[in-house]
């Protein structure tokens, strides 16, 4: 067979044994007989269990998401849990799953393997949001947790995210240690799969009530919600898990005009109404925006399949809907929450917020106004959760990342679109009390702190040559960093791989107290910020560009925005070849 090595063919034929179900054997035999290219893709490697778990295309084979690769990963995780909690007769895990094809089946095989290993399982009876799984781990005093989801990836994908006893996704040293245990499971015969039903406890709507009651306790302006209960919201879960909880939450809160997009309330892992189930993509919001126009709604809210990311559209001064990006949503919420904390006398000087290093510094400046500390962490919400865990003497208020994730309060330890939508609705009530919209609140923020705008460029470099090209790009930037950007002198370089920040004005080096990561940042004297990082999950290199300008008069906003936009476009050309860009997301206000 052309392009199929003897070793790969032997590996594929091992899946024809009676250890595998009949349908799997049929599919493998079909690949052997008819599709050498797909056979190679399916078996050329073992699907990598990374620092966050599994993620891959569904199908048969060692390099695909299926009940066997999931079972083997679970056995490795079970071994690690038993090793870490050897003094417990039955360590406990919580398991949830989303709307994707095969998610329920993968969750069930995960429960089978866990209970076969003597581990008690709290299993959600139907699909539920990822943040509710994070909440369940701490609420039920579990040692670990798993959610079966590929988040906002295309429909062909599924995934398996692992959490630890603090409710956050696993970080060092557990991530590497779990990987080591998973890699020891080299054959399905090493997996215990006989379910022990006595060790399974189902979680249903009663548990939802516990979670939602905690969400409601975050409210800072319940009287304003009551006063402005007739504000209108259109919501879409994009066929995912948010539809299980969001209507109930808005009803409990007292909002009278909550309009779900019915076509997208249908649970469907094929996501038939969108090209991509990702609220970061404008097209994913189209149906909701059209409904909002028809219903004369004030705000549009959208959550991704596992309800940890939120997309938002608000009305501008002409009454047209405009999309907010993740930085803008996080800035509005941080401003609202800290304003109310101050008004309610809740600020004591021991509060903090957290953001990732590629997220807008506008958020830090807002926090500084209220004398609230900001911690910067590496990209990935697990690092925000880890910061909450390791600052017990301080009070976490909120935190977020530019990729549409935000969290309020600490009873969940992952980004939570359920909480975020609720707090956005409350912030809308607060704005209405001032005779304003969320857009006008954003303009007030820009007037006080300056106009901040960002641009993200992702370059895809496929294959082994692509990986090498990305490595060479990072090497060249380290060897020959820019001395100026758009005529503005570079005054600081942060190299997170070396863990060093260089002050180029005074020649001083300081240690960056974060885990090592292949990220570079350049800062100029005029406030330009460029962050460059290879993606950890895709063959991409990402460039994050940020600029800001003061705003003397709100009437000058559009002009200032246009000027920044043009500068960001020029900046992007310095670092990338536009003709090769696969995805350019211009995160502009207008």
For 203, the enclosing helix (H) or strand (E) is: strand 200-203
- Tell me, yes or no, whether 507 and 561 share the same domain: yes
Provide the residue-wise pLDDT of the chain in tens; the chain has 590 residues. Answer: 567 899 999 999 999 999 999 999 999 999 999 999 999 999 999 998 888 899 999 999 999 999 999 999 999 999 999 999 999 999 999 999 999 999 999 999 999 999 999 999 999 999 999 999 999 999 999 999 999 999 988 999 999 999 999 999 999 999 999 999 999 999 999 999 999 999 999 999 999 999 999 999 999 999 999 999 999 999 999 999 999 999 999 999 999 999 999 999 999 999 999 999 999 999 999 999 999 999 999 999 999 999 999 999 999 999 999 999 999 999 999 999 999 999 999 999 999 999 999 999 999 999 999 999 999 999 999 999 999 999 999 999 999 999 999 999 999 999 999 999 999 999 999 999 999 999 999 999 999 999 999 999 999 887 767 888 899 999 999 999 999 999 999 999 999 999 999 999 999 999 999 999 999 999 999 999 999 999 765 678 999 999 999 999 999 999 999 999 999 999 999 987 544 434 434 333 32
Q: What is the CATH number of the domain that holds 325?
A: 3.40.120.10
For 479, the token pair is 């060897």
Q: What is the pLDDT of residue 1?
A: 55
Q: What is the pLDDT of residue 462?
A: 77
Q: What is the pLDDT of residue 2?
A: 60
Q: Evaluate whether residue 440 is within a structural domain.
A: yes
Q: What is the pLDDT of residue 114?
A: 98
How many domains does the structure of the chain reveal? Answer: 3
- Tell me, yes or no, whether 456 and 437 share the same domain: no
Q: What distances in angstroms separate CA 363 from CA 354, 356, 358, 368, one per listed residue?
A: 9, 11, 12, 9
Q: Evaluate whether residue 26 is within a structural domain.
A: no
Q: CA-to-CA distance for 566 and 297, rounded, in angstroms?
A: 33
Q: Evaluate whether residue 129 is within a structural domain.
A: yes
Domain boundary among 449, 464, 480: 449
- Tell me, yes or no, whether 173 and 73 share the same domain: yes
Residues involved in catalysis: 151
- Tell me, yes or no, whether 371 and 424 share the same domain: yes
- Tell me, yes or no, whether 458 and 541 share the same domain: yes
- Tell me, yes or no, whether 117 and 255 share the same domain: no
> By the 8 A CB rule, do 130 and 103 touch?
no
Select from 25, 384, 398 the least CA-distant residue to 169.
384
Q: For residues 226-265, b (16+ Cβ closer than 10 Å) or e, as one string?
A: eebeebbbbbbbbbbbbbbbbbebbeebebeebbbbeebb
Q: Evaluate whether residue 4 is within a structural domain.
A: no
Q: Evaluate whether residue 495 is within a structural domain.
A: yes
**φ, ψ of residue 151 in degrees (nearest 5):** 55, -120
> E strands of 437-575, at which residues?
451-460, 484-485, 488-495, 500-503, 508-511, 520-524, 529-534, 540-549
- Tell me, yes or no, whether 441 and 479 share the same domain: no
- Tell me, yes or no, whether 244 and 388 share the same domain: yes
Q: CA-to-CA distance for 479 and 491, rounded, in angstroms?
A: 16
**Greatest CA span in the chain, whole angstroms?**
74
Q: CA-to-CA distance for 391 and 399, rounded, in angstroms?
A: 14
For 271, the enclosing helix (H) or strand (E) is: none
Q: Evaluate whether residue 494 is within a structural domain.
A: yes
Domain boundary among 427, 449, 471: 449
Q: What distances in angstroms separate CA 467 from CA 308, 521, 535, 576, one per listed residue?
A: 29, 20, 10, 16
For 117, the token pair is 């290993």
Taking the mean position of all CA atoms in its chain, how far away is CA 321? 24
- Tell me, yes or no, whether 403 and 426 share the same domain: yes
Select from 359, 351, 350, 352 the least CA-distant residue to 378.
359
- Tell me, yes or no, whether 256 and 381 share the same domain: yes
> By the 8 A CB rule, do 81 and 74 touch?
no
> By the 8 A CB rule, do 429 and 227 touch?
yes
Torsion angle in degrees (nearest 10) through CA of 465, 469, 471, 475:
150
Residue 150: give the domain boundaries. 65-203
Q: CA-to-CA distance for 477 and 475, rounded, in angstroms?
A: 6
Q: Evaluate whether residue 298 is within a structural domain.
A: yes
Q: CA-to-CA distance for 329 and 301, rounded, in angstroms?
A: 11
Taking the mean position of all CA atoms in its chain, how far away is CA 220? 25
- Tell me, yes or no, whether 299 and 393 share the same domain: yes
Q: CA-to-CA distance for 416 and 402, rounded, in angstroms?
A: 14
pTM here? 0.94
Q: What is the pLDDT of residue 241?
A: 98
**φ, ψ of residue 315 in degrees (nearest 5):** -85, 135
Q: Evaluate whether residue 55 is within a structural domain.
A: no
Strand, helix or coil at 357? coil
Q: CA-to-CA distance for 433 and 78, rounded, in angstroms?
A: 52
- Tell me, yes or no, whether 175 and 304 share the same domain: no
Q: CA-to-CA distance for 410 and 424, rounded, in angstroms?
A: 18
> By the 8 A CB rule, do 308 and 417 touch?
yes
Select from 567, 522, 243, 227 the least CA-distant residue to 358.
522
Domain boundary among 142, 177, 203: 203
Q: CA-to-CA distance for 94 and 122, rounded, in angstroms?
A: 5
Q: CA-to-CA distance for 391 and 394, rounded, in angstroms?
A: 6
């Amino acid at each position: 067979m052309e392009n199929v090595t003897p070793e790969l063919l032997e590996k594929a034929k091992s899946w024809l044994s009676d250890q595998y179900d009949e349908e799997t054997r049929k599919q493998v035999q079909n690949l052997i007989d008819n599709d050498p290219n797909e056979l190679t893709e399916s078996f050329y490697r073992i699907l990598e269990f990374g620092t966050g778990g599994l993620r891959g295309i569904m199908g048969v084979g060692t390099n695909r998401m299926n009940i066997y690769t999931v079972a083997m990963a679970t056995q490795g995780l079970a071994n690690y849990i038993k090793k870490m909690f050897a003094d417990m007769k039955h360590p406990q895990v919580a398991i949830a799953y989303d709307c994707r094809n095969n998610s329920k089946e993968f969750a069930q095989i995960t429960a089978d393997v866990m209970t076969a290993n003597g581990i008690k399982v709290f299993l959600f009876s139907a699909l539920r949001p990822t943040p509710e799984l994070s909440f369940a781990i701490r609420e039920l005093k579990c040692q670990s947790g798993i959610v079966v989801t590929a988040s906002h990836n295309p429909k062909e994908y599924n995934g398996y995210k692992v959490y630890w006893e603090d409710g956050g996704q696993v970080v060092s040293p557990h991530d590497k240690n779990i990987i080591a245990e998973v890699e020891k499971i080299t054959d399905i015969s090493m997996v215990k799969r006989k379910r022990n039903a006595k060790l399974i406890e189902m979680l249903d709507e009663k548990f939802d009530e516990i979670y939602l009651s905690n969400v409601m306790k975050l409210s800072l302006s319940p009287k304003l919600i009551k006063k402005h209960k007739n504000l209108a919201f259109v919501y879409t879960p994009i066929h995912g898990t948010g539809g299980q909880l969001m209507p109930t939450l808005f009803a409990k809160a007292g909002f009278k005009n909550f309009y779900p997009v019915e076509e997208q309330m249908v649970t469907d892992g094929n996501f038939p109404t969108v090209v991509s189930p990702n609220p970061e993509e404008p097209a994913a919001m189209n149906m909701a925006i059209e409904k909002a126009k028809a219903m004369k709604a004030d705000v549009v809210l959208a959550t991704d399949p596992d309800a940890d990311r939120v997309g938002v559209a608000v009305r501008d001064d002409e009454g047209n809907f405009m999309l907010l990006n993740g930085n803008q949503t996080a800035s509005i919420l941080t401003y609202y929450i800290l304003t109310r904390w101050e008004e309610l006398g809740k600020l004591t000087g021991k509060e903090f917020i957290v953001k990732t290093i590629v997220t807008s510094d506008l958020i830090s400046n807002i926090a500084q106004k209220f004398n609230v500390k900001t911690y910067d962490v590496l990209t990935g919400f697990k690092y925000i959760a880890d910061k909450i865990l390791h600052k017990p003497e301080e009070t976490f208020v909120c935190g977020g990342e530019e990729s549409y994730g935000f969290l309020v309060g600490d009873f969940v330890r992952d980004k939570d679109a359920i909480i975020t939508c609720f707090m956005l609705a409350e912030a809308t009530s607060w704005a209405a009390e001032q005779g304003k919209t969320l857009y006008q609140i954003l303009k007030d923020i820009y007037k006080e702190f300056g106009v901040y705008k960002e641009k993200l460029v992702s370059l895809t470099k496929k294959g082994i040559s692509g990986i090498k090209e990305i490595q060479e790009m990072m090497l060249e930037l380290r060897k020959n960093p820019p001395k100026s950007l758009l005529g503005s002198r570079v005054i600081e370089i942060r190299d997170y791989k070396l863990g060093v920040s260089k002050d180029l004005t005074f020649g001083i080096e300081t240690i960056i107290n974060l885990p090592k990561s292949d990220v570079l940042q350049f800062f100029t004297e005029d406030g330009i910020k460029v962050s460059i990082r290879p993606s950890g999950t895709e063959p991409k290199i990402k460039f994050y560009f940020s600029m800001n300008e003061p705003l003397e008069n709100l009437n000058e906003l559009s002009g200032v925005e246009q000027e920044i936009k043009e500068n960001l476009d020029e900046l992007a050309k310095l670092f990338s070849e536009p003709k090769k860009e696969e995805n350019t997301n211009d995160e502009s206000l207008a």
